[in-house]
């Protein structure tokens, strides 16, 4: 059975008590964040209702959701019930082939992901965090309708740099990646396995013109740099979903549908491949649950 690694035994956490003692504002900051009516303020989750596995989704019109993604995905869960709701996030929990899964939806980007991850990591015993979302293809091998299972993320966003230098890697958990691959194979889904790049800017920062065609000289080579380096796809949240859980002793990963490819010129198709991404995520987490509760292996 998978057991949470004790974050207080990690190198960063071992330093944290000494650093916090030097923090002049420590008495002015709530130790575990803000709460409203006894619940974490931003997500409103009831920690007792949160599952062992958490799917992170974005209210993204490009994925062609028919309703809030947490509610839509929860329809595929057994005994689904709301586990938290605020104006910023919605969370549903239920079961899929024995795996206790929570699905949370919110806004786009690494900073938004940090908000929900902080409250879940601080207040729940969830072991595994999986981003399920949309992306754009960068590698010529990746086509609209395909799915990318992330093995690692390029941290070209800003939030994670507050936690560790740029040279610190964002590596997806190998058990989670293995389970997702098995799920994709069982479904006979169109998938790729490799590196995802995350950025904050969705225009100039990814080599796309801004307002009125605005670009800087350094924006011109962004696409080719990462295509030559073998990066498969780009999004805004994978780095956060991989990095923060890993840093704090949990498992993080990402599975993204691909809606277009800027290198090949294949045009955007709303929701292309996203049903595959959701199905791979659910099957992968069910496989991981079976692994966790049968092997007895503790990372």
pLDDT tens digits for range 104-117: 999 999 999 999 99
Per-residue pLDDT for 295 more than 80?
no
Domain count, the chain: 1
Contacts of 125 by beta carbon, 8 Å cutoff, 6+ apart? 4, 47, 50, 52
Residue pLDDT, tens place only, 255-272: 999 999 999 999 999 999
Identify the DSSP state of 178. H
Q: Note whether residue 297 is domain-resident.
A: no
Q: Is 150 domain-assigned?
A: yes
Can you point out the beta strands (E) in the chain?
Answer: 35-36, 39-40, 53-58, 78-85, 90-96, 99-106, 128-137, 147-156, 170-171, 191-199, 233-235, 251-261
Q: What is the pLDDT of residues 202-239, one digit of tens each?
A: 999 999 999 999 999 999 999 999 999 999 999 999 99
Q: Which pLDDT score is estimated for 3?
A: 61
Q: Which domain holds residue 136?
A: 7-292
Q: Please indicate, yes or no, if residue 298 is contained in any of the structural domains.
A: no
Domain presence at residue 142: yes
pLDDT for the residue 5: 53
Asked, for residue 299, whether it belongs to a domain, the answer is no
* 2: in domain: no
Is 1 within a domain? Answer: no
Contact 139, 264 (CB under 8 A): no
Helix (H) or strand (E) holding 270: none
What's 131's domain CATH number? 3.40.50.1580
The arithmetic mean of pLDDT across residues 61-75, rounded, is 97
How much is the average pLDDT of 57-82? 98
pTM of the full structure: 0.94
């Amino acid at each position: 059975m998978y057991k949470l690694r004790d974050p207080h035994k990690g190198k960063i956490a071992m330093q944290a008590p000494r650093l916090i003692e030097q923090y002049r504002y420590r008495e002015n900051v709530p130790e575990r964040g803000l709460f409203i009516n006894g619940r974490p303020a931003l997500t409103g989750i009831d920690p007792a209702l949160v599952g062992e596995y958490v799917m992170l989704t974005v209210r993204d019109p490009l994925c062609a959701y028919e309703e809030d993604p947490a509610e839509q995905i929860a329809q595929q869960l057994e005994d689904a019930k709301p586990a938290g709701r605020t104006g910023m996030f919605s969370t549903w929990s239920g079961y899929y082939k024995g795996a206790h899964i929570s699905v949370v939806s919110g806004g786009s980007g690494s900073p938004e992901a940090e908000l929900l991850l902080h409250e879940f990591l601080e207040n729940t015993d969830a072991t595994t965090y999986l981003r399920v979302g949309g992306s754009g293809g960068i590698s010529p091998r990746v086509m609209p309708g395909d799915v990318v299972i992330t093995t690692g993320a390029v941290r070209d966003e800003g939030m994670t740099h507050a936690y560790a230098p740029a040279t610190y890697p964002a590596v997806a958990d190998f058990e989670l990646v293995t389970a997702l691959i098995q799920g994709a194979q069982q479904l006979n889904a169109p998938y790729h396995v490799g590196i995802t790049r995350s950025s904050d800017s969705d225009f100039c920062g990814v080599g796309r013109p801004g307002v009125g065609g605005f670009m800087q000289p350094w924006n011109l080579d962004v696409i080719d740099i990462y295509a030559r380096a073998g990066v498969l796809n780009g999004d805004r949240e994978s780095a956060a979903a991989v990095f923060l859980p890993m840093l704090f002793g949990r498992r993080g990963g990402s599975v993204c549908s691909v809606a277009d490819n800027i290198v090949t010129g294949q045009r955007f198709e709303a929701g292309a491949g996203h049903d595959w991404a959701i199905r791979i995520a659910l099957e992968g987490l069910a496989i991981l649950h079976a692994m966790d509760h049968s092997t007895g292996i503790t990372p």
